[in-house]
Structure 1
Amino acid sequence: MRPLPPEALPVIVAARRTAIGTAGHAFKEVTADRLAAPVIQVVARDVACLGVPIDDVVLGNCMGPGGNLARVSALGAGLGEAVPGATVDRQCGSGLAAILMAGQAVASEEMELVIAGGAESASTAPLRAHRESPDTPYERAPFTPAGHPDPDMGAAAEALAAARGVERERQDDYAGASNAKAVAAREAGRFAAEIVEVGGRTEDQRPRLMRPASLSRLPAAFVPGGSVTAGNSSPVSDGAAVVALTSERLRAGAGLPGLRLRGGAVVGCDPALPGWGPVPAVRRLLGRTGVSMEQIAAVEIVEAFAAQTLAVTDALGLDPLGADRERVCADGGALALGHPWGATGAVVVTRLFTRLVRSGAPPGTLGLATAAVGGGLGVAALFEVV
């Protein structure tokens, strides 16, 4: 986004999500649109006080049935036939990219109120096959064309761990800490206000205390003799999260607190090391906005792998196992909660909203959300409490 005066910047005034379920379990029969629709419906009620219609719904999704999932979800939420819907695929950055796109529409004054986020149902995602070999499953779309690196994300996390010197012990320590923080947050009720009941579930399925000895015994999951295991990797998950973005004029008129979207960045990086993407994305974003990392009070990074998260935080000068433990993913992240690909970028924004707005952080407090993307991309967004 180009630099704009504060009064012209879009503001998030509501943020909700489903509980997150492990694929094949809590939401095993709930399609992506049926995950998204109840959350959209609640967010629409949250912002009814603004007194203006919802202009659009923008949703990220990676592995769904195709078509315009956002339109299907908007109709399912009862928003009416006039709300169009747009579906975004930036893989694991889709939910955050959708929020940035919605913010651009509000900042340009083309729209006044947009609901944006993401949804993913790995449990019900259709199985695909090539026409010439219908009995052979089509594993995934390529992240790059022939002649470019195209690693699976687990192998890419191993390569990044090796390239940046992230040892197995630190990965296990970080995964254990993420789960411990999430368990504590759940028990303290810090997730309750953001979760919309779907299928009777109001709590995340996965977070649990993990003993260091148990983590250390797990074998390498992707590369023989490697350091990335099932214990320090995020699980495949189902879930949805959305936010409402509006103008500062409408926010102030309604007297709502919120998160001003100060800026966003989407960049490319080496597709052989896609987990590195948040580093150039955050650096570009901070350079554009004139903000230093020291000024940011809350950081939410999509924890796809402990190796990837630590490589990124090391490069950005953060110490999530030490001085920045309560600054980076203070209530745990995707390693503990789960990683619903198309939704996870919106989940971290919803977490920022709870950490900063619902907790009553003072105006001017800054928060950062960022995600790495298969194929070599990074997405980042900077927010400010208003």
Structure 2
Amino acid sequence: MNPVYLVAARRTPVAPVNGAFKTLEVSDLAVPVIQALMTDTGLNPGQIDQLILGNALYGGGNPARLVALAAGLPESVPALTLDTQCCSGLDALRLGAQAIASGQADAILAGGVESTSRRALRAHRPINRDAAPEYYERPAFTPWPDRDPDMADSAARLAHEHGIGLDPQNTWAIDSHAKALAARERVSHECVPLAGLSADAATRPLSERLANRTPKVAEWQGAAINVAGTALQADAAAVCLLVSEAMLARMPAGTRAMRWVADVSGGGPADSPPWAIVPVVQRLFERNGLNADHFHRIELMEAYAVQAIVNAHQLGLPLDKLNQGGGALARGHPIGASGAILAVRAYHEMASAPKGSLALAAIAAAGGLASAVVLEA
């Protein structure tokens, strides 16, 4: 297989739903990021072989093609949209890396975009002509009605199964915000300012008192999760540039490249998405002779504080290497973009890492799926 390198990574700030980006469509979010990548690397649009974007809420069509055309990529450049829910952005990167590794491409833009604020209204078509459409907020994630809990209910069940109360969840959320605030200056370098926003809008000083006052969003047999321990619905775009060794050789001297070491996707119990990361990352470790102590930085999705607590404990992840610029609890969760944001964060967090150091990015998704990648400085 041919070597693959991640040579540039950018994103918008993350804005809570109906916030600073509430009028922006997916192309409005993604185009400035792609243009920034072109400027960062000196590549021209004609050198791009494909654009691959994850998206979960747009409602059909091929938003990646809209983005490609709006960004000025040649009409000859193919564009692909994929939907694996929360894994979409990271899976787009995985698919791009596989295309380069197999010799089918030299330069691919890959990532994710989500405009939760402008998402489509979804409805089931009525069977009878005189009936009203049946609107719904989310599709089914499994074929079994009795094993298809809402994500929040699944997280609350995880809290019950592992005996994790609100206090440790609040502590995790408080720490995520504190790390994000402390890292705001260095995180700003990866963000493309947009609509008057230059930093993640949800990041704030979160006290124990304030966390305790946030309402519960789900309960399961006495266990609960609250707003403080739940990543906000959000809007954002994140895109990375992946290149072959041949393309890297033609890029300007000093281009910082991270080698794509390994990736994996897999599944766990379909009705327990927060648990899926554990067996998938364990498989990644086993296949590549790795363990948690091999990593200089780890970007773990924080859809829920309880999820991150359980995942980190079960995988033995060292907390001093984990989400050092804050996690999704301090940013928000733009579903189709969140996995790509983890890759962007890993790329920039590793800017001063010793050569040969490794970074891990991992995320779970509805339906009990998970994806993870390993990058080397």
Same fold by TM-score greater than 0.5: yes
Separation in 2 of the partners of 1:59 and 1:108?
19
- Note closer, same or farther for the CA distance 1:103–1:146 as it changes in structure 2 (3 Å cut): same
The superposition leaves residues 173-207 of structure 1 with CA deviations (integer Å, 9 ceiling, x where unpaired) of 00000011111111xx1122111122232111110
Asked whether the equivalents of residues 6 and 240 of structure 2 are also in contact (C-alpha less than 8 Å), the reply is yes
Which of 33, 48, 54 is matched with 2:48 structurally?
A: 54
- 1:44 Cα deviation (Å)? 2.3
Separation in 2 of the partners of 1:250 and 1:76?
24
DSSP-derived class of the 2:204 partner: coil
Report the counterpart of residue 270 of structure 2 in structure 1: 271
Separation in 2 of the partners of 1:101 and 1:135?
36
Asked whether the equivalents of residues 220 and 226 of structure 1 are also in contact (C-alpha less than 8 Å), the reply is no
Report the counterpart of residue 217 of structure 1 in structure 2: 213
Report the counterpart of residue 233 of structure 1 in structure 2: 230
- Note closer, same or farther for the CA distance 1:51–1:118 as it changes in structure 2 (3 Å cut): closer
The superposition leaves residues 32-77 of structure 1 with CA deviations (integer Å, 9 ceiling, x where unpaired) of 1210111112112323358971000000000013111111101111
Letter in 2 for 1:99: L
Report the counterpart of residue 260 of structure 2 in structure 1: 261
Separation in 1 of the partners of 2:37 and 2:152?
35
DSSP-derived class of the 2:225 partner: coil
Alignment partner of 1:80 is 2:79: no
Which of 369, 372, 375 is matched with 1:380 structurally?
A: 372
Separation in 2 of the partners of 1:50 and 1:288?
37
Report the counterpart of residue 172 of structure 2 in structure 1: 174
Alignment partner of 1:199 is 2:174: no
- 1:250 Cα deviation (Å)? 2.4
Aligned ranges 1:103-142 → 2 under 5 Å: 103-132=97-126, 134-142=132-140
DSSP-derived class of the 2:186 partner: coil
- 1:226 Cα deviation (Å)? 3.3
TM-score, L = length of structure 2? 0.94
Asked whether the equivalents of residues 86 and 363 of structure 2 are also in contact (C-alpha less than 8 Å), the reply is yes
Which of 349, 361, 364 is matched with 2:353 structurally?
A: 361
- 1:15 Cα deviation (Å)? 0.2
Which of 329, 332, 336 is matched with 1:338 structurally?
A: 332
Asked whether the equivalents of residues 50 and 250 of structure 1 are also in contact (C-alpha less than 8 Å), the reply is no
Separation in 1 of the partners of 2:306 and 2:176?
13
Of 8-17 and 244-253, more deviation after overlay is shown by 244-253
Which of 204, 208, 213 is matched with 2:204 structurally?
A: 208
Asked whether the equivalents of residues 144 and 375 of structure 1 are also in contact (C-alpha less than 8 Å), the reply is yes
- 1:283 Cα deviation (Å)? 0.9
Report the counterpart of residue 244 of structure 1 in structure 2: 241
Separation in 2 of the partners of 1:195 and 1:147?
40
Letter in 2 for 1:160: L
Q: For structure 1, list consecutive stretches of 5 or more residues without a partner in the other structure.
A: none
Separation in 1 of the partners of 2:197 and 2:227?
25
- Note closer, same or farther for the CA distance 1:294–1:50 as it changes in structure 2 (3 Å cut): farther
DSSP-derived class of the 1:14 partner: strand
The percentage of aligned residue pairs carrying the same residue is 38
Q: For structure 2, list consecutive stretches of 5 or more residues without a partner in the other structure.
A: none
- 1:218 Cα deviation (Å)? 2.9
- 1:257 Cα deviation (Å)? 1.6
Which of 342, 361, 364 is matched with 1:348 structurally?
A: 342
DSSP-derived class of the 2:103 partner: coil
- 1:167 Cα deviation (Å)? 2.6
DSSP-derived class of the 1:364 partner: coil
Query: How large is the RMSD of aligned CA atoms in angstroms?
Result: 1.6
Asked whether the equivalents of residues 49 and 105 of structure 2 are also in contact (C-alpha less than 8 Å), the reply is yes
Separation in 2 of the partners of 1:192 and 1:120?
20
The superposition leaves residues 270-320 of structure 1 with CA deviations (integer Å, 9 ceiling, x where unpaired) of 01211111111111111111122111110001110000011100100125x
- 1:126 Cα deviation (Å)? 1.1
TM-score, L = length of structure 1? 0.92
Report the counterpart of residue 157 of structure 1 in structure 2: 155
Separation in 1 of the partners of 2:249 and 2:174?
41
| Number of matched pairs | 370
Asked whether the equivalents of residues 148 and 271 of structure 1 are also in contact (C-alpha less than 8 Å), the reply is no
Separation in 2 of the partners of 1:171 and 1:234?
12
Of 68-77 and 130-139, more deviation after overlay is shown by 130-139
DSSP-derived class of the 1:221 partner: strand
Separation in 1 of the partners of 2:291 and 2:317?
12
Separation in 1 of the partners of 2:216 and 2:268?
26
Letter in 2 for 1:244: L
DSSP-derived class of the 1:99 partner: helix
Separation in 2 of the partners of 1:38 and 1:316?
37
Separation in 2 of the partners of 1:50 and 1:286?
37
